[in-house]
Each structure stands twice: as structure tokens, then as C-alpha cells.
Amino acid sequence: MDKLEGLVAEIAAEMAAQTERGKVASYIPQLGKVDPKQFGIAVTLADGRIVCGGDADTRFSIQSISKVFTLTLALGKIGDALWRRVGREPSGNPFNSIVQLEYERGKPRNPFINAGALALADVILSGHRPREALGDILHFIRHVADDDSIAIDQGVARSEQETGFRNAALANYMRACDMLESPVDFVLGVYFHHCAIAMSCRQLAMAGRYLAFSGRQDGRTVLSPERARRINALMLMCGHYDGSGEFAFRVGIPGKSGVGGGILGVVPGRASVCVWSPGIDEQGNSRLGRLALERLTQGMGWSVFGPQG
């Protein structure tokens, strides 16, 4: 057992013993039913190895982690024209804040706040039907994860659609500012469904390889090294909502969290990591997930901000 294997096993054991786990997100009723005691971790390496621990094969709702993939797709579709639709600065406000949107006249500050992800969905739609846009998204994720079994959890999607008034407010507001092209319902439909994709830690760690390894995966180019670096930069700056500074400070790698309790982390040049534990903190980020990643990056000396010393 090498150092990484030992550390992953140690982290999985530690997290199983934790009692302070945060609260399971309940604003989407379906999410509230998940057992909070679960924890999973998966690490893929440059040499193709994958090291797992805990509930690494249990599927969970990836929620906002999906925004990393829709960002990749939207950039592939319209390139730098995307930045006329959405900004690149951290938001300094909670993730569903409509205030900031008003000050910026409907242009979301970055692709990872909800309003930004609605803009991405609109770009991916570009005149097509929601079904087609979702097909593109699922196809991309299955491709980078190398796993055709990945699918949308329709129960979660429905649950989000029935209770997603805040997102409906954002989408209508953006439409009022002429910042959405497709019908509001189409955009919301695509958004609610891609957030409801279910994946395991193993699948997400596989899917994140192109970000860790200069845009390449299984010997093929998914996107350019420069674009991979830029997505990583956005993940570090904005990937944890109003807890992004905290995550950079403690964990020190690009990461994107979802309220389902998952976090996808990228160690440039070295590893793609996914952790999952359903309890989240006040900023909407997995409590044990962040703790586990902090242990991992410290243990491996993987922080982008300097070696272990």
C-alpha cells in the first residue's frame, strides 16, 4: 500500500467516525431523504490508477458540480463569446442572491452561481429543445467519465422543478434584462435536470481527469490546456459560493461543490479527486467533504499554493 492508498483509507476511517456532519440540504425535498452518515472518496492519478475509500460507488445528486461540465460545453460551443454573457469574478454573496444580478443588470458575475449556470444552459440550448440540450450534456459527462450508465434522477429533477421558485425568479429576471434567449421554462428545465444527474465519487473523479491533466483524457484531447487551466482558475475563485475563500485557504486546490454533498477537486498535473458526504454547512458546501480534502492535500503536499515545507 503506497502513501496515497494509506492516506485515503485513513481519511475514510476518520470521516466515518465524525459526529459533526452538518445538515442535509432540505430545500429540495428529495435531497432531504439521503442518509447523512455516508462518506465516499475517489482519487484518479495521471498513470490511470484510481484509489477509492468509503462509499465511493454510491450515486448521489451532483447538483452544482454539473456546472463544471456545462461550462466546458458552453465554452466549446461559443468560446470566449461566453464572457459577454457571464463574468469571471467571485460573487461575494450567497449562491442564489438576486441582488447582485440586479446591480449587474442581469449579467451573472460568474458561471458557478445559479444565475451563471442558467446562462450556460441558455448557451447550450441555443434554439434547440431542452431534451436535445440535456442529451448533449449527458453525452459529454458519460464520455469524460467513460461510463454510459450515468443518468438523470427524474424524482430529484421533478422535486427541484416544483420548488425552484428562487431559480425561476433568477431566470425571469435575466429574461427581463434580455440576458436569456430561450424561453424561461426551457432554461429552467435544462438547469433542473442537469443538477439532478446522479453519479458516484468514482464516476466524478473519472470525469474530472481532463481538468487535472491539461485537457487530455485516455489519450484524447477534450479541450486545450489553456482552457483547462482557466476552468480550474474559475473553480478555485468561485467554486464554493461564499465559502470559496475559506476553501482556498484551507484546501488550496480548485474545487466545485454541490448541495448534494459532493465536491470535485482538481490537483493540476497530479490528480482528479471526488469526495462526498451529504451534510452541508451554512455556505452550502459539504462539511466532511472539505475536511477530507484538507487532510488529503496536506498529507500529499498537493496545495497549489506551495509544497508541504
Q: Which residues of the chain form contacts with its own copies (CB under 8 A)?
A: 87-93, 97-100, 102-103, 109-110, 165-166, 168-170, 172-173, 175-176, 184, 212, 214-215, 224-226, 228-230, 232-234, 236-238, 242-246, 248-249, 252, 254, 268-269, 303-309
Considering the complex, state which of residue 47 and residue 165 has its C-beta at the smaller distance from its own copies: 165
Cβ atoms within 10 Å, residue 184: 18
27 marked as binding residue: no
Q: For residue 257, list its beta bridge partners.
A: 263
Question: Active-site residues: which are they?
Answer: 64, 67, 191, 241, 259
Considering the complex, state which of residue 143 and residue 166 has its C-beta at the smaller distance from its own copies: 166
Please give the backbone phi and psi of residue 109, each rounded to the nearest 5 degrees, phi first.
Answer: -70, -30
In sequence order, what E strands does 190-296 have?
A: 197-199, 216-217, 220-221, 255-257, 262-267, 271-276, 279-280
Query: Greatest CA span in the chain, whole angstroms?
Result: 58
Considering the complex, state which of residue 254 and residue 284 has its C-beta at the smaller distance from its own copies: 254
Closest separation between CB of residue 258 and its own copies, Å? 19
Closest separation between CB of residue 135 and its own copies, Å? 27
- With residue 42 as reference, give the H or E element that holds it: strand 40-45
Q: How far apart are CA 179 and CA 105, in angstroms?
A: 9
Considering the complex, state which of residue 51 and residue 212 has its C-beta at the smaller distance from its own copies: 212
Closest separation between CB of residue 264 and its own copies, Å? 15
285 marked as binding residue: no
Residue from 160, 152, 153, 151 nearest 29 by CA = 160
**Binding site feature residues for substrate:** 64, 114, 160, 167, 191, 241, 259
